[in-house]
Amino acid sequence: NAGVTQTPKFRVLKTGQSMTLLCAQDMNHEYMYWYRQDPGMGLRLIHYSVGEGTTAKGEVPDGYNVSRLKKQNFLLGLESAAPSQTSVYFCASSEMGEQFFGPGTRLTVL
């Protein structure tokens, strides 16, 4: 039982490049979330999903897109990376109550 896994763990991008972060959960949770964590800013919600095939905007959605084609997977895409997107990204899943987090992806955009 791996819980929530994230791929990759680290990535360095150049401005304008694109990439996709993958989140997978094996707990059969309906709800999934993408956060970014920056020093002094805490955890901020980017996008979330309340079930397979659904997505919604969170607090800081600009510059990101998401897809939830399968219940166990939640993908976060950056179409044209900017230095302001340098951050640590966390995925989480839940069944309405407590959320369970993945180990994070550290992204640097040069």
Partner 1 sequence: EDQVTQSPEALRLQEGESSSLNCSYTVSGLRGLFWYRQDPGKGPEFLFTLYSAGEEKEKERLKATLTKKESFLHITAPKPEDSATYLCAVQGSGNTGKLIFGQGTTLQVKP
Chain residues in the site for partner 1 (CB under 8 A): 4, 31, 33, 40-43, 45, 48, 50, 56, 58, 90, 92, 94-104
Q: How far is CA 88 from CA 30, 38, 71, 106, in A?
A: 24, 7, 24, 4
66 and 79 Cβ atoms separated by less than 8 Å? no
- Nearer of residues 9 and 16 to partner 1, judged by Cβ: 9
- Nearer of residues 4 and 75 to partner 1, judged by Cβ: 4
Least distance between partner 1 and beta carbon 2 (Å): 13
Least distance between partner 1 and beta carbon 58 (Å): 7
- Nearer of residues 5 and 84 to partner 1, judged by Cβ: 5
